[in-house]
Amino acid sequence: MSFLSIKGAVKQFGGLRAVDGVSFTLKKGEIVGLLGPNGSGKTTLINLVSGALPATAGEIRLNGQRLTGLRRDRIARAGVARTFQLVRILPSLSLIENVKITAVFGHNAHWGRAAERVAREALEMVGLSDRAEAQAGDLTYIDQKRLELARALAAEPEILLLDEWLAGLNPTELSEGIDLIRKLHQGGLTILMVEHIIDAVRALCPRVVVMNSGQLIADEATDAALSDPSVITAYLGGEVDA
């Protein structure tokens, strides 16, 4: 049974179809990579699922509930959590407060001790619990990324959307990051991740969906997709360009 289903999703910006009739589904507990060259519409698709942009056409459902047409906060409460391509933290709040907000306003709407506990667990998960009271604005880039992930986790989401969460990390941080995502997946979380780092995709995702110019060009096992001629052409350009 499909858990997240995207049916004929379209996003039109003026004359440009950034997402052009994309359909695929995710099963509960599955981790899927969303690949494609720059400008192929991956982030736009993430924005359609999370409600950052209204879809021009198509339907997106999570666990049977229709998400298309809902406001961003309603979609968040329905169980969709996301990180941002350009990391977004709340600089004037402490780490624990940054994380607590999704526990308070998100999927399960905790308050008081329960919210505190969920937030602490999320910080613990990403390895920031020893600095819970520090100001978020003082963090390094990798720690900001960790914090953003912790915020998404504290929502206790049904599905986690990662938009190039591994980008910009050094090799050590990258392997830590991969381990962290694997741990989340093993904990039963459904994950859809936009990612350019192929090694990470191979390590984490048994299945990928590939986009090019707004359209879905592959939805198959990762090894098969990465040797698929149409995928290689999309990434490296066709014969005319080469």
Partner 1 sequence: MIRILLPLIGLALLTVLPNYISDYGLGLLIGAATYVTLASAWALFSGQTHYISLATVAFYGTGAYTVAVLNEALPYPAVLACAALIGGAMALVVGLSTLRLQGVYFVIFSFGLAELTRQLITWYEVNVTGTLGRYIFLDITTRQIYWQMLALGAATLALTAWINRSRLGLALRVIGDDETVAAHSGINLARTKLIAFVLSAMILTLAGAITSPRYVYVEPAIVFNPTVSFLTVIMALLGGANRLWGPALGAVPLFLAFEYLSSNFPDTYPIFLGLLFIGVVFLVPNGLLAKLETLTARKAPQTKEART
**Which residue ranges make up the site for partner 1 (CB under 8 A)?**
50-52, 71-73, 76-77, 81-82, 84, 88-94, 97, 100-102, 104-107, 109, 111, 133-134, 151, 155
The dihedral formed by the CA atoms of 146, 155, 196 and 46, expressed in degrees to the nearest 10:
-140
Q: Which is nearer to partner 1, 76 or 226 (CB)?
A: 76
In the complex, minimum distance from the CB of residue 99 to partner 1, in angstroms, rounded to a whole number: 10
In the complex, minimum distance from the CB of residue 184 to partner 1, in angstroms, rounded to a whole number: 18
CA 71, CA 51: separation in Å to the nearest integer? Answer: 6
Bridge-based pairing of strands 16-27 and 2-13 is: antiparallel
In the complex, minimum distance from the CB of residue 215 to partner 1, in angstroms, rounded to a whole number: 26
* Inter-residue contact 202 to 222 (CB < 8 Å): yes
Q: Which is nearer to partner 1, 41 or 79 (CB)?
A: 79
In the complex, minimum distance from the CB of residue 53 to partner 1, in angstroms, rounded to a whole number: 12
Q: Which is nearer to partner 1, 42 or 100 (CB)?
A: 100
CA 174, CA 177: separation in Å to the nearest integer? Answer: 5
In the complex, minimum distance from the CB of residue 20 to partner 1, in angstroms, rounded to a whole number: 25
Q: Which is nearer to partner 1, 77 or 182 (CB)?
A: 77
* Inter-residue contact 159 to 3 (CB < 8 Å): yes
Q: Which is nearer to partner 1, 80 or 181 (CB)?
A: 80
CA 29, CA 171: separation in Å to the nearest integer? Answer: 27
**Does residue 118 sit in helix, strand or coil?**
helix
